Amino acid sequence: MRLVVLAGDGIGPEITAATLAVLRAADARFGLKLDLAELPAGVACLAETGTTIPEATAAAVRAADGLVMGPMDTYAYAGQKGAQYGGGALNPSGFFRRNLDLYGNIRPARTYPGLRSPTGAEFDLVIVRENTEGFYADRNMEQGNAEILVTPEVVVSMRRITRLCCDRIAASAFKLAQRRRRHVTAVHKANVLTKGDGMFLASCRAEAEKHPGVAYDEVIVDAMAAHLVRTPQKYDVIVTTNMFGDILSDLAIELSGSLGLGGSINAGERFCMAQASHGSAPDIAGQDRANPASLVLSAAMLLGWQAEQGGSSANAFAAAAGAIEAAVAQVIQAGDCTADVGGRLGTAAMGQALAARIGAA
């Protein structure tokens, strides 16, 4: 498996280094034959080359089997000239999601033994988020940007919702639910966004009819935020549109104990990108304090996605993904982790603790 690795900005290089240590340990144990190519992208690259994504990096990603991306400090350059597509200060996450049609953002959230959730409940859920349209102004137009400054005092933001994107994210959610506890919850605001969220719900309902063995219900997004805080254990697979999924997944992951535990992949039909679900945290960059688990778990999900593609190595990739996830649970329970989850180690040492557990088995 050929993987391009983009370390990102802020804490990105630190958590990426820890993730690479884990991937190399899994590679050695399970014989995955990973080909890891570390390439430039992000803020430092913008300063050196005039672009956050050099063409050589983009070409290498297109030729690879997958991508591991550390957090990018898109806020640092979002206001610069060229922030929209076609300029130099591209949002790498949005760029690859759009150009590789990575329509499904899969974000699990679960509790861990030894780490108390703020809710006091044990839960294990997955948010399936549509990833290529919605209110995201940088990726829902063929040309230009969907946020328009009409006058100095008036901004219009347009949301795009399409039948294709609704259908395929609904299908992804039900496919996932069949491997889990067979329960899908569609989250929406169709009481206000009647046409767009109405189309989304129509796709979810049509998919539910195809899967009579999967329980299906619908919850309005503001009520869903309250339900996640009160009874997260009620939910299995939650499917929703882009912005709602972005917000709810951060909430769910924080309820698991730390935003640093949020694994995330961006998946299409033929390509997958592992990406930490949190930001670049420039305030703690270089201090060896950042929790690498989010990117480590994202990399495990990438290996799991590769296993689902089939082939002679599928079992090895599935076993490697499971071993990484188990190692994360083990280091948390043992306290061999960063302070945000009750541990005593720094970023690099936690990466080594994870790698040691994987390699020792």
Q: What is the pLDDT of residues 317-353, one digit of tens each?
A: 999 999 999 999 999 999 999 999 999 999 999 999 9
Are residues 166 and 97 both part of a single domain?
A: no
Tell me the β-bridge partners of 155. Answer: 149
Q: Which of 234, 255, 276 is the last residue of a domain?
A: 255
pLDDT at 153: 96
Whether the predicted pLDDT of 81 surpasses 50: no
Does 350 lie in the same domain as 223?
no
Whole-angstrom distance, CA of residue 12 vs CA of residue 71: 5
% the chain with pLDDT above 70: 96
pLDDT digits (tens, 9 = 90+) for 174-201: 999 999 999 999 999 999 999 999 999 9
CB distance 263 to 107 below 8 Å:
yes
pLDDT at 87: 53
What is the pTM (predicted TM-score) of this model?
A: 0.93
* pLDDT given at position 83: 43
249 shares a domain with 120: yes
What pLDDT is stored for residue 284 in this prediction? Answer: 95
Q: What band does 89 get if pLDDT is binned at 50, 70 and 90?
A: confident
What are phi and psi for residue 119, nearest 5 degrees? -80, -20
Last-in-domain residue among 255, 279, 300: 255
pLDDT at 138: 73
> Do residue 222 and residue 272 come from a single domain?
no
Same domain, 269 and 202: no
Are 19 and 296 contacting, i.e. CB atoms less than 8 angstroms apart?
A: yes
Backbone torsion region of residue 183, taken as left when φ is above 0, otherwise alpha when ψ lies between -120 and 50, otherwise beta? beta
As a whole number of angstroms, the distance between CA 133 and CA 246 comes to: 12
**124 and 238 co-located in one domain:** yes
Q: Running DSSP on this structure, what letter comes out for residue 64?
A: S
pLDDT of residue 82: 42
Same domain, 233 and 278: no
Q: What proportions of the chain, in percent to the nearest 5, are helix, strand and coil?
A: 45, 15, 35
Angle at 75 between CA 153 and CA 125, to 5 degrees: 105
Instruction: Tell me: pLDDT of 84 over 50.
Output: no
Does the pLDDT at position 79 exceed 80?
no
Same domain for 91 and 6: yes
Q: What is the rounded CA–CA span in Å between residue 361 and residue 356?
A: 9
What was the pLDDT predicted at 135? 87
| CB atoms near residue 148 (< 10 Å) | 12
Could you tell me if 251 and 331 lie in one domain? no
Question: For the chain, how far is it from start to end, CA to CA, in angstroms?
Answer: 23
Residues 251 and 264 in one domain: no
pLDDT of residue 94: 86
Q: What is the mean pLDDT of the chain?
A: 93
Residue 77 has pLDDT above 60, yes or no: yes
What are the backbone dihedrals phi and psi of residue 279, each rounded to the nearest 5 degrees, phi first?
-90, -170
What is the C-alpha separation between 139 and 161, in angstroms, rounded?
Answer: 12
- Among 223, 255, 287, residue at a domain's last position: 255
Residue 170 tokens read as 């609904």
pLDDT in tens, 212-243: 999 999 999 999 999 999 999 999 999 999 99
State how far the Cα of 102 lies from the Cα of 289, in Å rounded to an integer. Answer: 31
Phi, psi (degrees; rounded to nearest 5) at 348: -65, -45
Phi and psi at 158, nearest 5°, equal: -105, 140
Catalytic residue set: 136, 189, 222, 246, 250
Quick one: 229 and 244 in the same domain? yes
140/332: higher pLDDT: 332
From start to end of 276-327, where are the E strands? Answer: none
Residue 203 has pLDDT above 60, yes or no: yes
138 near 145, Cβ under 8 Å? yes
Place of tokens 């490697």: 320
**Does 14 have pLDDT greater than 90?**
yes
Averaged pLDDT for residues 269-287: 93
Taking 90 as the threshold, does the pLDDT of residue 142 lie above it? no
In this predicted structure, the answer to whether residue 85 has a pLDDT above a threshold of 50 is no
Domain count within the chain = 2
DSSP 180: T
pLDDT at 97 over 60: yes
Domain that holds residue 226: 116-255
Residues 304 and 357 in one domain: yes
Q: Residue 88: pLDDT band by 50, 70, 90 thresholds? A: low
Structure tokens at 1: 């498996």
Mean pLDDT score, 20-29: 97
Does residue 151 carry a pLDDT above 80? Answer: yes
If you average pLDDT over residues 254-258, what whole number do you get? 93
Q: State the sign of the Cα–Cα–Cα–Cα dihedral 220, 226, 231, 233.
A: positive
Residue 144 has what pLDDT?
75
Residue partners of 167: CB distance under 8 A and separation at least 6: 203, 206, 207
Q: What CATH number does residue 20 fall under? A: 3.40.718.10
